[in-house]
Amino acid sequence: MEKQTIGKSLDSAAGMNNQKNIENNKNNSSVVINRVTDKFSDSKLIIYAHSLLGDDTIVVQPAEIINVMQFLRYDKLLTFDMMIDLTVVDYLGNQQIHPYLSDLRARFEVVYHLYSIDKNHRLRVKAPLMEENAFINSITGIWGGANWFEREAWDLYGIVFQGHPNLRRILLYEEFEGHPLRKEYSKTKRQPLIGPRN
Amino acid sequence: MANNQKNYDFHKESHTEPLEINMGPSHPATHGTVKFYLTLDGETIKDIDVEIGYLHRAFEKECELQHWSGIFPYTDRLDYTAGVLNNVGYALAVEKLIGIETPERCKYIRVIASEMGRLSGHYTNLAACAMELGALTAFLYFVEAREYLWDLIESFCGARLTHNYIRIGGLTSDLPDEFPESTEVVFKKNEKLYDDFAKLLLKNRIFLDRMRDTGGISAELAKEWGFSGPCLRACGVPFDVRKSEPYLVYDKLDFEIPIGSTGDNFDRFLVRMDEIKQSIRIIRQCLKQIPDGPINVDDPMWRQPSKDDINSDMESMIFHFKNVIEGQKVPEGEVYHAIEACNGELGFYLVSNGSGSPVKCRVRPPSFPMTSALPIMVKGSLLADLIPTFDMINLIGGECDR
């Protein structure tokens, strides 16, 4: 139910520009981008794709993250066998960096960096999220290594990864209030002192 | 009496129920501050929960409040056994975002500095591993080697542990004049220490029994769990960022990537031992090939000019003022750049909005995903096997917890 709402709201905002953006960026993009955009060309799943500074990047609908990741990992031509990094960026007040963010009214972006050892290529996958719908499906079923990265993203940004087996804080302690890497969290904010637990 | 016998719980009364203990956060046999919550059946590990974060000091939050050039001292403290490697990784990521390329001499010096960082990291790791398995003598041999190496590092950057040597678009200082000769002297000493260290451990029955066939992982699982560096290469996967995506001048240098076959702790140990030899080989080649020339980009906008220029040249003074007060204006965009650090792929993901500070400065710490796979590697094995496995993952608190 919740998943559908994310998908719909993003569709209506970005659906129109979707195809155009992909076409514009196809000319100067790489093999990886072409393969992915060809595969998902009829759906509105890929919002934006580019390979600026040599980094291939696709922006996808957060509701479809599992489909995309499964394709990227098991496709014969792509074989992204390693999930190198997972992080979140808070674009509060900085939406102008990526024009599609304000179209989608998105505040956060979950950023995945993938690498294929056999093919020696990289891909950055980004999923924009709105502040009120800050949840996305967990990809721990595809790469086990995503487990701690997702816990860290929950800990520091408060993004909920649905289906994660053990979504607890990892770097901070359980009694910590708030998510410190969100832009509104002040550096000088104090936290409650706690005594020893046992 | 009869009633008592009926409720008699054998496991409880004979105390054979699983034992739950905390190991750490500060334990003499683990280097790094980390807590293991263990469930033991006798000496066998039934379950393990790894708790990190004791060294968390808000690296990313601090970076967002610093100027681009003010982040270098923070990066030193990520993997503090090889601080200069983190400097190089960050500098290369920022330079990729700006689109500048440093002069040839600077690239060579950066390679020399990185390989010295790798040597220092591997010396520390291998020595600490030997010590935690009871071989204090072997520890002293490599700590001596590291001491000589740090003297060498001190001669070109003035610091031994937190180097803060690399800058955006260049370096703080050039190599001293007699550097190649003093390097050769140190390498001669270190090669002898290396041989002694190898003799002390590699045919030592106790050491072999504790390292061999413990903490193993298959290549498939290692890839899935995001392993990189020596731990992945020990599984037989020849993945090294220096070869797969050569940065700096690694494509002009002749070196090999040692790999293992079984992926156990002993293979990881041997891969690191061989990498020490390769790093020395790389530094020797660099010192032969290194050209003369400038070490900084010739652009006061990116590389802070020398004090002489600031006092005599108008443009240099303006940029000096602006860069110090406002920070360098790195162009808008995002970038990911990876280098091979001593534990594996160290990546920096930066997002800039065109102002003097980053919107996001993310470090991809190599030991973080490997620590997350620790339960897979040790579940079902003996408690004693946890020590070498944890050593060979080489969790560095500063890097894992940030």
Instruction: Confirm or reject contact between B293 and chain A (CB < 8 A).
Output: no
Check if the beta carbon of residue B150 is closer than 8 Å to that of residue B160: yes
Instruction: Confirm or reject contact between B399 and chain A (CB < 8 A).
Output: no
Supply the pLDDT for residue B3.
52
Supply the pLDDT for residue A198.
60
Is residue A53 domain-resident?
A: yes
Pairwise CB contact (< 8 Å): B333 & A52: yes
The neighbour count for residue B46, using CB atoms within 10 Å, is 14
SS3 for A119? coil
Q: Give the number of domains in chain A.
A: 1
Instruction: Confirm or reject contact between B244 and chain A (CB < 8 A).
Output: yes
Whole-angstrom distance, CA of residue B281 vs CA of residue B170? 24
Buried b / exposed e across B254-289, counting CB within 10 Å, b at 16+?
A: ebebbbbebbbbbbbbbbbbbbbebbbbbbbbbbee
Instruction: Confirm or reject contact between B221 and chain A (CB < 8 A).
Output: yes
Q: What is the CA radius of gyration of chain B?
A: 24
pLDDT digits (tens, 9 = 90+) for A134-175: 889 999 989 988 999 999 999 999 899 988 888 888 888 888
What value does the mean pLDDT take over residues A4-11? 38
Give B228's contacts in chain A (Cβ within 8 Å). Answer: 82, 84
Pairwise CB contact (< 8 Å): A171 & B52: yes
B38 to each of B51, B137, B390, how far by Cα in Å? 11, 30, 14
Query: What tokens does B265 get?
Result: 């702790």
Instruction: Confirm or reject contact between A14 and chain B (CB < 8 A).
Output: no
User: Taking the domains of chain B in order of start, what are their residue ranges?
Assistant: 59-99+102-296+331-400, 298-323
Query: What tokens does B184 get?
Result: 């050769």
Per-residue pLDDT 10s for chain B (402 aa) are 445 556 677 666 776 778 888 887 888 777 778 888 888 888 888 889 998 888 888 888 888 888 888 898 999 888 888 888 999 999 999 999 888 889 999 999 999 999 999 999 999 999 988 888 888 888 899 999 999 999 999 998 888 888 888 988 888 888 888 899 999 999 999 999 999 999 888 888 888 888 888 888 888 889 889 898 899 999 988 888 988 888 888 988 888 899 888 888 999 999 999 999 999 999 999 999 899 888 888 877 787 777 787 888 888 888 888 888 888 888 888 899 999 998 889 999 999 988 888 999 999 999 899 999 989 888 888 888 888 898 888 888 888 888
- Residue B239 has its nearest CB partner, among A85, A91, A117, at A117
Phi, psi (5° rounding) for residue A43? -90, 165
Give A83's contacts in chain B (Cβ within 8 Å). Answer: 226
Count of residues for chain B?
Answer: 402
Residue indicated by tokens 């129920």: B17
Whole-angstrom distance, CA of residue B319 vs CA of residue B303? 9
Give A170's contacts in chain B (Cβ within 8 Å). Answer: 52-53
Chosen for mutation from B240, B241, B334, B399 (greatest number of chain A CBs closer than 10 Å) is B334
B292 conformational bin, left if phi > 0, alpha if psi -120 to 50, beta if neither = beta
Residue of B nearest to A85 (CA): B364
How confident is the prediction for chain A on average, in pLDDT? 79
Pairwise CB contact (< 8 Å): B58 & A124: no
Instruction: Confirm or reject contact between A173 and chain B (CB < 8 A).
Output: yes
Whole-angstrom distance, CA of residue B398 vs CA of residue B402? 5
Instruction: Confirm or reject contact between A176 and chain B (CB < 8 A).
Output: no
Is residue A93 domain-resident?
A: yes
pLDDT digits (tens, 9 = 90+) for A18-54: 444 444 444 445 778 778 777 777 777 777 777 778 7
Supply the pLDDT for residue B20.
86
Supply the pLDDT for residue B336.
92
SS3 for B40? strand
Q: Chain A to chain B, count of Cβ pairs less than 8 Å apart?
A: 100
Is residue A164 domain-resident?
A: no
Count of residues for chain A?
Answer: 198
Give A117's contacts in chain B (Cβ within 8 Å). Answer: 223, 237, 239
Decide if pLDDT at A186 tops 50.
yes
Is residue A128 domain-resident?
A: yes
Half-sphere exposure at residue B393, Cβ-oriented, CA atoms within 13 angstroms: 35
Looking at the complex, report in whole angstroms how far the Cα of residue A1 sits from the nearest Cα belonging to chain B. Answer: 31
Query: What tokens does B341 get?
Result: 């650090």
Check if the beta carbon of residue A58 is closer than 8 Å to that of residue A36: yes
Supply the pLDDT for residue B5.
59
Amino acid at B154: E
Whole-angstrom distance, CA of residue B325 vs CA of residue B303? 15
Pairwise CB contact (< 8 Å): B359 & A91: yes
B209 to each of A12, A165, B264, B393, how far by Cα in Å? 63, 35, 12, 18
Pairwise CB contact (< 8 Å): B369 & A171: no
Nearest to B344 by CA among B250, B244, B239: B239
Instruction: Confirm or reject contact between B52 and chain A (CB < 8 A).
Output: yes
Whole-angstrom distance, CA of residue B237 vs CA of residue B247? 20
Query: What tokens does B222 get?
Result: 């290692």
Is residue A30 domain-resident?
A: yes
For helices B179-202 and B265-289, what crossing angle results, to 10°?
Answer: 160
Instruction: Confirm or reject contact between A144 and chain B (CB < 8 A).
Output: yes
B256 conformational bin, left if phi > 0, alpha if psi -120 to 50, beta if neither = beta
- Residue A113 has its nearest CB partner, among B56, B336, B402, at B336
pLDDT over 90 percentage in chain A: 10
Does the domain formed by B59-99+102-296+331-400 have CATH 1.10.287.70?
Answer: no
DSSP string, B149-211: HHHHHHHHHS-SS----EETTEESSPPPTTHHHHHHHHHHHHHHHHHHHHHHHHT-HHHHHHH
E strand map for B28-82: 35-41, 44-51
Nearest to B16 by CA among B37, B53, B35, B44: B44
Pairwise CB contact (< 8 Å): A97 & B61: no
- Residue B226 has its nearest CB partner, among A83, A90, A120, at A83
Decide if pLDDT at A181 tops 80.
yes
CATH code for the domain in which residue A10 is found: 3.30.460.80
CA A192 and chain centroid, separation: 31
B121 to each of A176, B114, B146, B265, B384, how far by Cα in Å? 33, 10, 9, 17, 24
Whole-angstrom distance, CA of residue B362 vs CA of residue A86? 10
Query: What tokens does A190 get?
Result: 């104090």
Pairwise CB contact (< 8 Å): B56 & A172: yes
Is residue A198 domain-resident?
A: no
Range of the domain at A126: 2-140
Chosen for mutation from A30, A58, A94, A107 (greatest number of chain B CBs closer than 10 Å) is A94
Whole-angstrom distance, CA of residue B243 vs CA of residue B256? 9
